[in-house]
Structure 1
Amino acid sequence: MTYDPFDPAVMADPLPYYRVLRDQHPVHYLEKWDTYALSRFDDIWNVLEINDGTFVASEGTLPAATVLATHNDGPVPDPPLHPMPFHANFDTPIYDEVRRCTAAPFRPKNVTRLGERIRVLANERLDELLPKGRFDLTQDYGGIVAASIVCELVGLPTDLADDVLATVNAGSLAQPGSGVEVANARPGYLEYLTPVVQRARAEGPGGLPIVDNLLAYRLPDGSELSDTEAAVQLLGVFIGGTETVPKIVAHGLWELTSHPDQLAEVRSDLSANVAVAREEMIRYCAPAQWFARTLRRPFTLHDTTIRPGQRIISLLASANRDEREYDRPDEFVWNRPIPRLLAFGRGQHFCLGAHLARLEITTMVTEFLNRVPDFTVDTAAASRPPSSFQWGWNSLPVEV
């Protein structure tokens, strides 16, 4: 068995590899990258809840192949404070403190207030798209709605949603044989975010809390964030909020229309059933494949001891298809029991936008099914580019 997340065959379809890993190699060593791949739900669930400094993201939660190619001789320290990278690269307290600066809009009560705005945006898109008879479910519908919400959260005009969506999508593309080079795409992201920070600094507190909090934050040495450093801390909102939800919405609707009996059951009571189907859509359709951690302390799993400086990659997409956790995991079952879910991660790095993502998915699916009595996916034109990370349906043309 050979598994490499950057292998072209794996990037084209990782699911068969995950099945072999789960059954035969639950802790699989990737010698080239000095990294261990964890593939079973229980193992990943238990590892991600450990928050005692054993696992850190000093090399990034999604390190590129160029980073993994360097083998560490021991524990990797936190990066230098300046220029400050994305805060997920730090351990506590910096990670926790900066995360709190950006967390307010994503708390349940604040997310609930966005419900009507999401519904309005979804219907505005449908008003424009439905008369055309054919459009892209990922890009034209879910993508623009999600990107519009992100624009409003970070202080950008919603007429930039199309450009923001294209920028984020481009940043996640990867050539077979190499990983996603997020750093290469950051200048494009920062062209939007840095002016937001500069304007907030010039105008003073009161305009945009998520940015005000970052400008008021002081690092342990007493220094403040520069405009660019503060903008970098917004990347999780900017990228995560734009990219994943549209792919889940589009793929989830495709699964429903591929199972007419399930679609009929969901349609029988949209207000009650879409929220149930949403959880299966997240489990089955979430495009994120894995996240990485670097060890600072020895850790033993399945009689394998991983040394400080070595890495693990948690194959969340494999965990979502683990037969030990879910019955018939390779089938879409809209109302299956899902007592535990790993698509949003777990522990210290649990997805900041999980509440918003659930609300967006529920709203966009509900409004679409409310207004579209019949639809067909053009499967021949659907596009799922190879990727080491975001293996999702970038384009899903639909006829209504």
Structure 2
Amino acid sequence: MPTTQFTYDPFDPAVMADPLPFYRVLRDQYPVYYLEKWDTYALSRFSDIWNVLELNDGTFVASEGTLPAAAVLAQHNDGPVPDPPLHPLPFHANFDAPIYDEVRRCTAAPFRPKSVPKLAERITTLANERLDELLPRGRFDLTQEYGGIVAASVVCELVGLPVDLAADVLATVNAGSLAQPGSGVEVANARPGYLEYLTPVVKRRRSDEGHACPIVDNLLAYRLPDGSALTDMEAAVQMLGVFIGGTETVPKIVAHGLWELSREPDQLAAVRADLGANVPLAREEMIRYCAPAQWFARTLRRPFTLHGTTIRPGQRIISLLASANRDEREYPRADEFIWNRPIPRLLAFGRGQHFCLGAHLARLEITIMVTEWLKRVPDFQVDVESACRPPSSFQWGWNTIPVEV
């Protein structure tokens, strides 16, 4: 890629098709890159992003959303941006403390380190039920039909939906993440397709119907600083992070990670030699190498200087987590998949206040799905020509990985 005329824009069709070459140039030559059109700075190096996301002093806020669409970024700010109004309450990640912390706690119960291991038996059952159905067919989609259905089934149970809706939930979330070149994906928006599933769940629990659901029940009990409660729609919107994040990311990491292992027979054999000890190591490399999320945004409320560039209140930064995952300064031979690579620090789940709520569950799901696959599938081949990685400004992952067993 010629650097004399280098430009980077996350919504550029060329970037959406393959951002990795752009990330390398950014890391090497433009660690704080200004996107004039969006009045936004792109950060691409691991250590810079690590240090920025660590700050929790009000310098950076998510008032415009953690993944603002192009239409939002096109509006340039003249100074700090206030929190959104309380009603209708947008996704809680748009707020700073205390609202962000309080609503996040409402949804956190199933994802705490002590709670997540209780789900292991159920996830193992779901994974093997899928394999029982898929393996006799000989050919199927590793991303959607294996990892996708298992992950969506777990999400359904966590938010109080029947598991037989898993395929529909998966299709809805996948469709919501597609974006046309020139525009972005705004996960914080209350997309009608998502809320058609979630709002009825909230309504049933408010009427004291159905099974107890800690996430919903906590949201219904929550009161905003002005003393008001959440409407059904507002409570459903707060569940979008669980609904979308829990459904979309893990299947792509599992399928892509297994594909990478299959490319390197020696690595695959090494992992198989002791699944209990080695899958957790390979899992971390799968997360680093295969995580599909590309970036998240913050808006400044205070001036901040990095590499001699001062960013003003109202301007934004986008932290290119996918670039950080490939930063040679943090990971030697970063563009290679090395199953037992030492990974003392990882940014794929974010860092600081907005660290991924489901990180512990994601790790458990990946471990179980990879382990059960390797236990039951002695040999498999990916149909490389038919694999599909749609262009995306955000979830740039392998949506389709056909596999033959």
TM-score relative to the length of structure 1: 0.99
Q: Does 1:344 align with 2:349?
A: yes
Letter in 1 for 2:66: T
The residue number in structure 1 matching 2:145 is 140
- For residue 230 of structure 1, the aligned residue among 212, 230, 235 is 235
Q: Shift of residue 382 of structure 1?
A: 0.2
Aligned partner of residue 147 in structure 2, secondary structure? helix
Counterpart Cα distance in 2 of 1:36 and 1:71: 13
Letter in 2 for 1:309: G
Using the TM superposition, name which of 181-190 and 107-116 deviates more: 181-190
* CA separation of 1:399 and 1:353: change in aligned 2, threshold 3 A: same
Letter in 2 for 1:294: T
Q: Does 1:324 align with 2:329?
A: yes
- For residue 84 of structure 1, the aligned residue among 85, 89, 92 is 89
Aligned partner of residue 109 in structure 1, secondary structure? coil
Per-residue CA deviation, residues 327-347 of structure 1 (Å, 9 max, x unaligned), is 100000000100000000000
Aligned partner of residue 332 in structure 2, secondary structure? coil
Letter in 2 for 1:195: P
The residue number in structure 2 matching 1:48 is 53
Counterpart Cα distance in 1 of 2:209 and 2:275: 44
Letter in 2 for 1:290: W
Counterpart Cα distance in 1 of 2:382 and 2:211: 45
The residue number in structure 1 matching 2:319 is 314
Q: Shift of residue 177 of structure 1?
A: 2.0
The residue number in structure 2 matching 1:261 is 266
Letter in 1 for 2:364: L
* CA separation of 1:205 and 1:136: change in aligned 2, threshold 3 A: closer
Per-residue CA deviation, residues 301-321 of structure 1 (Å, 9 max, x unaligned), is 000000000000000000000
Counterpart Cα distance in 2 of 1:211 and 1:204: 12
Counterpart Cα distance in 2 of 1:231 and 1:113: 25
Counterpart Cα distance in 2 of 1:204 and 1:120: 27
Q: Does 1:157 align with 2:165?
A: no
Residues 161-176 of structure 1: pairs in structure 2 closer than 5 A: 161-176=166-181
Question: Are the counterparts in 1 of residues 127 and 372 from structure 2 also a CA contact under 8 Å?
Answer: yes
Counterpart Cα distance in 2 of 1:177 and 1:210: 35
The residue number in structure 2 matching 1:75 is 80
Question: Are the counterparts in 2 of residues 206 and 212 from structure 1 also a CA contact under 8 Å?
Answer: no
The residue number in structure 1 matching 2:115 is 110
The residue number in structure 2 matching 1:4 is 9
Runs of 4 or more off by more than 2 Å in structure 1?
Answer: 181-185
Letter in 2 for 1:107: R
Counterpart Cα distance in 2 of 1:53 and 1:352: 20
The residue number in structure 2 matching 1:380 is 385
Letter in 2 for 1:115: A
| Structure 1: stretches of 5+ with no match in the other structure | none
Aligned partner of residue 389 in structure 2, secondary structure? coil
Aligned partner of residue 293 in structure 1, secondary structure? strand
Q: Shift of residue 108 of structure 1?
A: 1.1
Q: Shift of residue 205 of structure 1?
A: 10
Residues 213-228 of structure 1: pairs in structure 2 closer than 5 A: 213-228=218-233
The residue number in structure 1 matching 2:40 is 35
Q: CA RMSD in A?
A: 1.0
Question: Are the counterparts in 1 of residues 67 and 188 from structure 2 also a CA contact under 8 Å?
Answer: no
Aligned partner of residue 191 in structure 2, secondary structure? helix
Question: Are the counterparts in 2 of residues 205 and 212 from structure 1 also a CA contact under 8 Å?
Answer: no
Aligned partner of residue 207 in structure 2, secondary structure? helix
Question: Are the counterparts in 2 of residues 12 and 387 from structure 1 also a CA contact under 8 Å?
Answer: yes
Q: Shift of residue 179 of structure 1?
A: 1.1
Counterpart Cα distance in 2 of 1:25 and 1:183: 29
Aligned partner of residue 51 in structure 1, secondary structure? coil
Number of residue pairs matched by the alignment = 400
Q: Shift of residue 181 of structure 1?
A: 4.3
Counterpart Cα distance in 2 of 1:8 and 1:268: 43
Question: Are the counterparts in 2 of residues 37 and 313 from structure 1 also a CA contact under 8 Å?
Answer: yes
